[in-house]
Amino acid sequence: MARIVRNQRLDSRSARALLARRHAPYWHPLTRGRALGYRKGAKGGIWLAKYRTADGKREQLLLGAADDAFDGETSDVLTFAAAQAKARDWFEALDRDAGRRRPRYTVEDALDDYIANFSGKSLDKTRYVIDRLVRPEFKNVQVSDLTTERLREFLEKIASRRSVYRANKKGVRKERPVRDDAVRVQQANANRAFTPLRAALNRAFALGKVADDSAWRRVKPYAKVSAPRIRYFTGPEIHRLIEHAPDWFRPLIQAALLTGARWSEIHRVRVRDVDLMSGVLTFPDTKSGRPRFVHLSDEGIQLFRGLCMGRRTDELVFLNQHDRELGTSHQIRPMRETCEAAGVEPAGFHILRHTYGSRLAMAGVPMAVIAEALGHADERITRKHYAHLCPSYVRDAVRAGLGDYGIVRKQAGLRLVR
C-alpha cells in the first residue's frame, strides 16, 4: 500500500476550514506529473486528481466530495487519505493505458456487451429484465462513476415496488394482488434484476474496461429469499378446474397436468411433436435450449390422440378460442378466471407443472427420474422442490418409534394421514 503523503493545509478538516474559497484548486503533488487537488466552494470542498504525461498532455478527474461537513466516509465522500488512494488507482489505470484516458464506457455499454456475448439459458428473459428494470435506472451513467450507495438504492427500489402484470396494448400495467409473502417475493425479484447487472459489470472489469470492481462487489443481494413456495393442486381441485375451464383452455390444463410442461413449451407443440406409437411427446424449444422428451401415460396418449386426429403434422395442437396461435402470456387471464370459477385459490399456470412433479414424488418415483421428466439439468433443483414430498424412511421411523403418548384424546372418524 502506498504511503500517505502529508500536507498540513489539506490533511484535516480544521486545516481546510482556514483556506480561502477559490475556483483554482489547492494542488498537492504526490509524485512527478501526478497531483491531488482540493477546490473549496460555497457548499464545501471537492477532491480532484491531475495527471501529466511525458509529452505535456494533462488529464483531470473529479474524485468526489471532501469530508468537510461529514463524519462518515463513503465512496462519494472522501477523506484526505481516501482521496489519495482513489487518485493513485486512477493514475495506475492511466499508466496501463500509456497515459490516455479510457474511452467513455457506460453501464448501457456493459449491458450491451453482456447480452451480445450471453451464453445462458434464458436470453429473452434476461434481455427483458435488463430493458425494463436496469437500463432506465442507469441511463448514460459511466461504470467508473458507479458507487455502492447507488447500487444499493437500485436494489432497494426494486424490492419496495408493487408487483404488476405485463403491460397491455395501451402500456398500462395492473398491480398484482398482495400475497402473504410479498416482501420475500419482491426481494427475490430485486435479486433477479441485480444478477444480470452485476454479471455485466463483472465482465467489464474482467476485460479491463474499468479499473475497479469494489462498488458492486460490496453490494450483497437479499439473503434467504429464493426459498420455493411449492404448491400443488389436490385431486378435488383438479376436477373442479377441469369442469369450470373454458372449452379451448381445458385441453391445455389437462396436457400440463399430464406432461409437467411449462406454458412456453406446451403452447408451441405441433402435431409432428406427438408420437402416439411410442407414447412420447417432444418439446423442441425448452428453457435449457435442448429438446425434452416426455413419456405419456395411457391417459396422456388418449388426450393427444383426440387432439391430433385428422390434423396436418405442421399444425399447432393448441389454439385459442378464435382458433388463432397462442402467445407468451395468453394463459394468465383464463387461468385466473378458471380458478375463480372453480372456487380454487388463485394460482398461475406453472402450478400445473408443480402438481405433475409433486404427484410423481408422492408416488415414490426416484428423484433422478423426476428430474429427467421435468427437464432439470440435475437433481439439485428437483430435490429443492419435491424431496420433502417423497415417502420418507425417517418420517416413518419417527412415527413408529415415538408411539402414542396417550395425552391427546382421539376423536371418532379422524386418522393420521400417511
Q: Write the pLDDT tens digit of every residue in 227-253.
A: 656 788 999 999 999 999 999 999 999
The whole-chain average pLDDT of the chain stands at 84
How is residue 156 written as a grid cell?
Answer: 432497494
More confidently predicted of 13 and 341 = 341
Separation of alpha carbons 232 and 221, rounded Å: 29
CA distances from 191 to 123, 130, 156, 311, 313 (A): 17, 12, 10, 45, 43
Q: So what's the pLDDT on residue 418?
A: 45
Q: Cell digits for 168? A: 397491455
pLDDT band at 74 (very low <50, low <70, confident <90, very high): low
If phi over 0 gives left and psi between -120 and 50 gives alpha, with beta otherwise, what is residue 64?
A: left
* Distances in whole angstroms, Cα of residue 162 to Cα of each of 23, 40, 154, 329, 345: 46, 43, 15, 20, 21
Tell me what percent of the residues of the chain surpass a pLDDT of 90: 38
Neighbours of 339 (CB within 10 A): 21
Taking domain 13-96, whether its CATH number is 3.30.160 is answered by yes
The whole-number pLDDT of residue 240 equals: 95
User: Per CATH, the architecture of 235-394 is what?
Assistant: Orthogonal Bundle (1.10)
C-alpha cell read off for 187:
426481494
Report the DSSP beta bridge partners of residue 28: 36
Report the percent of the chain where pLDDT is more than 70: 89
* Range 138-153 average pLDDT: 89
- The confidence score (pLDDT) of residue 411 equals 59
CA dihedral 358, 185, 109, 106 (to 10 degrees): -160
Return the minimum-mean-pLDDT range out of 21-25, 168-172, 298-302, 381-385: 168-172
Provide, for the chain, the percentages of residues in helix, strand and coil under a 3-state DSSP scheme, each rounded to the nearest 5. Answer: 45, 15, 45
Which triple of cell numbers denotes residue 81? 487519505
C-alpha to C-alpha distance for 34 and 316, rounded to whole angstroms: 69
Region for residue 162 given its phi and psi (left: phi exceeds 0; alpha: psi -120 to 50; beta: otherwise): beta
Could you give the CA distance from residue 104 to residue 144 in angstroms, rounded to a whole number? 9
Q: How confident is the model at residue 98 (pLDDT cuts 50, 70, 90)?
A: low
Whether the predicted pLDDT of 75 surpasses 90: no
CA distance 355 to 225: 22
pLDDT at residue 407 above 90? no
Q: Phi then psi for 164, rounded to 5 degrees?
A: -130, 160
CA distances 360 to 240, 266, 340, 384, Å, are 21, 19, 27, 15
In this predicted model, which residue has the larger pLDDT, 250 or 85?
Answer: 250
